[in-house]
Chain A
Amino acid sequence: MDERAGAEFSLDTAAVLAAGESASAIRGRSPWFLAWRRLRRNYIAFAFLGLFFLVVFVCAFAGLYARHVAHIGPNDGRPLGVLHVHGDAIPIVSAGGYLDKHTGEPCPIGAPSDQCELLASIPIGPQWFNAGGRYVLGADSLGRDVAVRLLYGGRNSLIIGIGSSAICVVAAIILALLAGYFGGWIDFVISRFFDIFYAFPVVLLGIALGAALSVNGLHWNLGLFRINLGSGGIGIPLLIISYVLVPYIGRPLRGQVLSLREREFVEAAIAQGASPLRIMFSDLLPNIASSALVFFTLIIANNIVLEAALSFLGAGVHLPTPSWGNLISDGQNLIVTRPWLALAPGIAIVLTVLALNVFGDGLRDALDPRAKVKVEH
């Protein structure tokens, strides 16, 4: 059977494998072992997981690339710099202006227009590997190395994507366990919290929070619990994105907890005198862990896209700190002559999100082939 399924790999390989598993094949095996056995046969999912790790790996070493290959930091602009390519000196940002056609000097105010020509200052385009690793993808209008900013931007986008997903899933699990286990007024309050945030379009809510916190940041001091996030870093968008998506994970998990709460093993635990905390975290949590894990994988992709959208609109990561979203925004002014400025971060987002979504689908099928876990908003 394994051989047959292996010959017909698809995005649903794990589901196909699971459908063909006999009782003897799964008897005595833990759910995690079974999931791993299904997942490892899904070469497509693994290939895309490899792509994701490649992106993470490359971005993680942005500093090394900047120091030893590009020899420039992510925020170091050299608008007057010169690049030597095959013995030619090329300005990193070309000289422009309203210039005399014959002398090249700036035209004085009121000079006849037929004597002058209009030249824009345009940054250098992709040099690929002609300049010893410098300006591989060209420069932006401040003379910064686009490739370096792309890697640093990727690092920030991934930190926000993964970090916000982790915070979001942990918060959603806690709220779902509290609401589903205790029910009553606790469930009512938490569910209404979910409903209220569910009613807002995510991007609009993100923009509103981003705009509100963009000037002064977030500073809470509640004794032991302190938050001090400045407006310029990645902390604010990380927190906003994790906050606005909690209901989208919390609601389906709460539904699962409500269902599990009525099962015999929970009644048995209560009868044995187990505390609510123990039941929630030792009995209920393992049963929703597979769903939470799938949500986590899928929501990383979602959050990377959301970060890009917020940063593109100016409500996410603030310039000059790079992120894939604000790099696209930065590049749109030069989309005609220097399309790589916007294309490169766009392609990076597409590859990363595609990799995470394909792997997430494979993971979902492997963990529970019958589950219909997906993130919608």
Chain B
Amino acid sequence: MTSKRYRTVVLATIVAMAFVLVVSACGGGGGSGTTAPTPTGKHFANFRIAYDQGIDYLDPALSYTVQGSSIMWNVYLPLIGYKHLNGPAGATLVPYLAKAMPTVTNGGKTYTIYMRSGLKYSDGTPVKASDFKGSLERDFKVNSPGVGFYGGIVGADTCATTPATCDLTGITADDTSGKIVINLTAPQGDFEYILAMPFSSVIPGNAPAKDQSTHPLPANGPYMIQSYNPNHEVIIVRNPNFHASDFAGNVPEGNPDKMTITIYGDPSIALTKTLSGAEDYDAQQPPPDRLSQLQGEHADQLKVYTPANTFYFFMNNRVAPFDDVNVRKAVNYAINRRAMVRIQGGLASPTENIFPPTYPEYAKTNYYPYNLKKAKGLVRDAGVQGMNVTVYASDNETRRAPEMGQYMVQVLNSLGFNAKLTLINAEVYWTTVGAAANNVQIGFADWFQDYPHPLDWIDTLLNGTRITPTHNNNYANFDVTSVNNGIAQLKQQPTLTPSVIRGWSTLANTIMKQYAPWAPYLNVQYVDTFSSDMDLSCYVNHVNYQFDFATICKK
């Protein structure tokens, strides 16, 4: 395409978009309630974001961090996705590239979806139904950390063993009609959520089977990544081929015309830049000793939120001394969760639960009130006093992991162990503790939901049948047959009815009460800081992706 012709297309697109906006603005009421909060006339030139160093990849098949998915949410669209809304309403799934939500047949094992017609990627090539199949197959080919989510698709087993020649035979796609049929080996209650994950984003079928972070893939969302300079900057601009009208209001076109994401290593600098107006939004957490200043001088520039998260210490059920359930219970009794709130800087609530309090499956428990004497007795009875224990923690200061690691060392020493701390660089921490060969005894962990479903917590983190030698998310190596069977049974329930919710709640509480594979300690709160130029009436904090960059407005 020549540049002149390109300009013509862009101009025509802008005119068409303006026409659509005018028509929709004149349309008045009758909204479905799913329309994203993107009032017209709120466009502005550049949204400047002070980011942290947590971007792992900007390739939808590879990124498995909030920092990566927050950016790509508005760049690469899956067949279905979430409403761009605040709070629980944001957990509702709506069709993105799909014309409608999937039709589920064959006892919950077959999903049929029709893709919208006429969609184009940012490079002008059409979005095809077969691209979906290719995108999931590419996940296997690039050894995506998300392939475990697709294990229920027919053919996934073969793809897992021979990823280079992956052919997901369970998926058929017809480019002419846009029909996609997905066959599962068994019913899977969270499958629609899995289809909404960034790993399910649809990218061109000819995308290279290797990391494309620095050579951004063509986008089908409202924005496209113009450039990514790791540890330095990401530039995001509007996708000229995106038309919000094609998506029935489910995907907002976004307010900023451009987003400039600058990566800062020091949270204090990021905060200072934001408060001075050099940046519009600080994605990093402010240092605790500046919260008072923020509250006193910039209270109207803050948003405090509690994403669905649980911070915990996992205890390896296969390695001494934590192969003894009484020792695991002793650790739960010995940690003082109120003290841990203070160590965290105050912005947290103590918890003993696996699920965060935002979940309907959450039922507050108090199985392990602080009782050091009882804990010492349990350790003494287990006969493991004096044993060497190494506590693993990442060096991620934003998560206060080094401080929590030190606290755990203190706790274990008070129980009579000979404990020491090993701090691992945050970039390789999860790989280290997720490798069976390292035999990590106990370590720091936190979990932020991939999707708002109990399976993302119990199945991903505590299902013994999902333990892998590397990239293992079940850090505790918790493997109890009755629990595995319970997960398998609940997994087949297509919807979260009250009885299913009760089932998950009972299972989670049983895990903690009887087996205590973790020592959960906090649900952490976060702070978003903005410059005084931003209009926070447009602020949207999504249940999965947290602050939605696209919907923010400028005063």
On A, residues with C-beta under 8 Å from B are 75-77, 79-80, 93-98, 106-107, 109-110, 113, 116-122, 141-143, 211, 214-215, 230-233, 314, 318-320, 333-338
Contact = CB atoms under 8 A, between A and B. Distances in A.
Interface in B342-357: 342-349, 357
A106 B349 contact: yes
Given A118-B292, A334-B289, 13 more contacts: A77-B410, A80-B342, A96-B342, A96-B345, A97-B341, A106-B349, A120-B292, A120-B346, A214-B422, A215-B438, A314-B423, A333-B397, A336-B287
Nearest to B404: A142
A230 B421 CA distance: 11
B471 interface: no
Interface stretch (B6-14, B180-188, B295-303): B295-303
B304 A319 contact: no
Contact of A318 (B304, B347, B349, B422): B422
Nearest to A214: B422
A121 B299 contact: no
Contacts of B303: 113
Choose among B292, B299, B405 the residue with the greatest number of A CB atoms under 10 Å from its CB.
B292
A320 B410 contact: yes
Contacts of A75: 406, 409-410, 413
Contact of B421 (A77, A142, A232): A232
13 contacts: A75-B410, A75-B413, A97-B346, A113-B303, A119-B292, A120-B289, A120-B290, A121-B341, A142-B410, A319-B423, A320-B409, A333-B289, A336-B290
Nearest to B86: A110
A109 B541 CA distance: 13
Given A120-B288, A120-B289, A319 B406 contact: yes
A166 B442 CA distance: 37
B56 interface: no
B406 A320 contact: yes
Contacts of A215: 422, 424, 432, 438
Interface string B502-526: 0000000000000000000000010
Nearest to B346: A96
Given A117-B299, A120-B289, A80 B338 contact: yes
B336 interface: yes
Given A75-B413, A79-B339, A98 B347 contact: yes
Contact of B304 (A96, A116, A120, A314): A116
B290 to A, nearest CB: 6
A98 B525 CA distance: 8
Contacts of A233: 420
A125 B347 CA distance: 20
B291 interface: yes
Contacts of B306: 109
B527 A333 contact: no
B149 to A, nearest CB: 27
A340 to B, nearest CB: 12
A320 B421 contact: yes
A93 B287 contact: no
Contacts of A141: 288, 343, 345, 403
B421 A96 contact: no
A117 B410 contact: no
Contacts of B163: none
Contacts of A231: 390, 420, 422
B304 A122 contact: no
Contacts, number: 142
A318 B407 contact: no
Contacts of B488: none
A233 B388 CA distance: 13
B405 A319 contact: yes
Greatest chain A CB density within 10 A among B268, B306, B347 is at B347
A119 B344 CA distance: 12
A142 B345 CA distance: 10
A6 B371 CA distance: 68
B402 interface: yes
Interface string B302-343: 111010000000000000000000000000000010111111
Closest 4 CB pairs of A and B: A96-B346, A232-B420, A121-B346, A337-B289
Interface string B417-444: 0001111110000001000001000000
Given A106-B349, A113-B302, A119-B295, A95 B342 contact: yes
B289 A119 contact: no
B409 A119 contact: no
A249 B425 CA distance: 33
Given A93-B343, A98-B304, A319 B421 contact: yes
Given A77-B410, A96-B347, A336-B289, A118 B422 contact: no
Contacts of B384: none
B309 to A, nearest CB: 12
Nearest to A97: B346
B151 interface: no
A113 B403 contact: no
B357 A109 contact: yes
B420 A314 contact: no
A118 B302 CA distance: 10
A133 B71 CA distance: 52
A154 to B, nearest CB: 19
B423 A79 contact: no
Nearest to A339: B289
B360 to A, nearest CB: 14
Given A118-B294, A335-B289, A93 B402 contact: no
Contact of A314 (B345, B395, B407): B395
A106 B346 CA distance: 10
Contacts of B336: 80
Contacts of A106: 349
Interface in B505-555: 525, 527
B39 interface: no
A320 to B, nearest CB: 4
Contacts of A142: 343, 403, 406-407, 410
Contacts of A335: 268, 289
A49 B404 CA distance: 40
Contacts of B340: 79
B358 interface: yes
B87 interface: yes
B302 A338 contact: no
Nearest to A80: B339
A112 to B, nearest CB: 11
Nearest to B305: A109
Contacts of A79: 339-340, 342-343
Contacts of A77: 339, 343, 406-407, 410
B423 A118 contact: no
Interface string B380-410: 0000000000100001010000110111011
Contacts of B347: 96-98, 118, 120
